[in-house]
Amino acid sequence: RRHLLSSADLALPQVRAILDTAAEMHGVQQREVKKLPTLRGRTVVNLFFEDSTRTRSSFEIAGKWLSADVINISGKGSSTSKGESLRDTVLTVAAMGVDALVIRHHASGAAHQVSQWVDAHVINAGDGMHEHPTQALLDAYTMERRLGSLEGRHVLIVGDLTHSRVVRSNLITLKTLGARVTLVAPPTLMPSGIRAWSQAEGFELSHDFDAVLPTADAVMMLRVQRERMSGGFFPTAREYTVGYGLTRPRLDTLVAANPDVVICHPGPMNRGLEIGADAADAAQSLILDQVSAGVAVRMSVLYHLLAGEEGAA
């Protein structure tokens, strides 16, 4: 069975194939009647043990527009709350004859573990602080549509690197597409071992947002994940914004240096903390384009995993 567990599962030809199909799906998304018969008779289960707005609903819409039957199960409201284990839960769902399991779980490695237990295709919709591969694909798709090829483009990824699964998947996919990436964060929000990793993988690190800001083709702001922090974070919210927030003055600097710059955020945003309303709603902001692309990219991923095996389209 083929799965999508990590961005590292996708070499350049596979990333290109997914992004090219996503462009076709985007065309379908813009039609008045959006249904394709591609996955008729197939069943996709969204199994979400962590909250989600974008990922869960876009996988649901994607599956439905491809004519799959889509079922949503969340941790709250399922027998997990009665103590059923992850293994028993997924074996129970799989026993009903599902074709694909889209899983979000708070434990890093959960999707990989689930793929060992079931016969269905497994798609990682976010596993703890580890990876979120479809987010990286939709980010790449969105940036490419505005910027063209990402080869040699300078992407800043800014903020809470320690708790972000988006950053790891983005680093892999952006490297595959030939982008230059600089990670920007206070020392308190850079994970241990990142210096060695950056040297091995060829991305750059900075603690000085203002110094690197004017060199950016794209700025991806990350959410400060307070729910994953046991104590406080860099030293106060106010000081975080002063040092690392995409504020109005930084937006002005960014646009003055490069009027074609784009601003991304995977969502959900903490407006006023890591990104101000001026930047979130600026002409340069692609944040809602990312949401829209999420449906097309997830249609493409479902298509490549499920339709490919039967040659249907």
Any contact of residue 52 with ligand CP (CB under 6 A)?
A: yes
Any contact of residue 228 with ligand CP (CB under 6 A)?
A: no
Among positions 115-154, residues that touch ligand CP (CB under 6 A) are 126, 135
Which one of 109, 191, 243, 267 is in contact with ligand CP (CB under 6 A)?
A: 267
Which one of 214, 249, 268, 272 is in contact with ligand CP (CB under 6 A)?
A: 268
Sheet holding 262-264, edge to edge: 204-206, 180-184, 154-158, 218-221, 262-264
As measured in angstroms, the least distance from the Cβ of 152 to ligand CP is 26
Between 53 and 79, CB nearer to ligand CP: 53
Q: Which residue stretch of 26-34, 210-218, 262-270, 299-307 sits at the interface with ligand CP (rule: CB under 6 A)? A: 262-270
Does residue 236 sit in helix, strand or coil?
Answer: coil
For residue 148, the 8-state DSSP code is S
Q: Contact at 8 Å (CB) between 282 and 69? A: no
Any contact of residue 53 with ligand CP (CB under 6 A)?
A: yes
Tokens 């729910």 sit on residue:
227
104 is in an annotated binding site: yes
82 is in an annotated binding site: yes
Between 43 and 290, CB nearer to ligand CP: 290
159 is in an annotated binding site: no
b/e 142-160 (16+ beta carbons within 10 angstroms → b)? bbbbebeebeebbbbbbbb
Q: How far apart are CA 163 and CA 178, in angstroms?
A: 25
Neighbours of 197 (CB within 10 A): 15
For residue 307, the 8-state DSSP code is I
3-state per-residue secondary structure call for 184-230: ECCHHHCCCCHHHHHHHHCCEEECCHHHHHHHCCEEEECCCCHHHCC
Between 46 and 300, CB nearer to ligand CP: 46
135 is in an annotated binding site: yes
Between 57 and 78, CB nearer to ligand CP: 57
As measured in angstroms, the least distance from the Cβ of 124 to ligand CP is 11
How many helices (H) and strands (E) the chain has is answered by: 12, 9
Q: How far apart are CA 294 and CA 58, in angstroms?
A: 6
31 is in an annotated binding site: no
As measured in angstroms, the least distance from the Cβ of 3 to ligand CP is 19
Q: Residues 79-118 vs ligand CP: string with x where CB under 6 A?
A: ----------------------------------------
Does residue 169 sit in helix, strand or coil?
Answer: helix
As measured in angstroms, the least distance from the Cβ of 303 to ligand CP is 20
As measured in angstroms, the least distance from the Cβ of 37 to ligand CP is 27
Q: What letter represents residue 99's amino acid? A: D
Total residues contacting ligand CP (rule CB under 6 A)? 9
Among positions 148-207, residues that touch ligand CP (CB under 6 A) are none
223 is in an annotated binding site: yes
**Closest to 209 measured CA to CA, from 164, 166, 240, 178:** 240
Binding site for ligand CP (CB under 6 A): 52-55, 126, 135, 266-268
Q: Residue positions in the annotated binding site for L-aspartate?
A: 82, 165, 223
Known binding residues are 54-55, 82, 104, 132, 135, 165, 223, 267-268
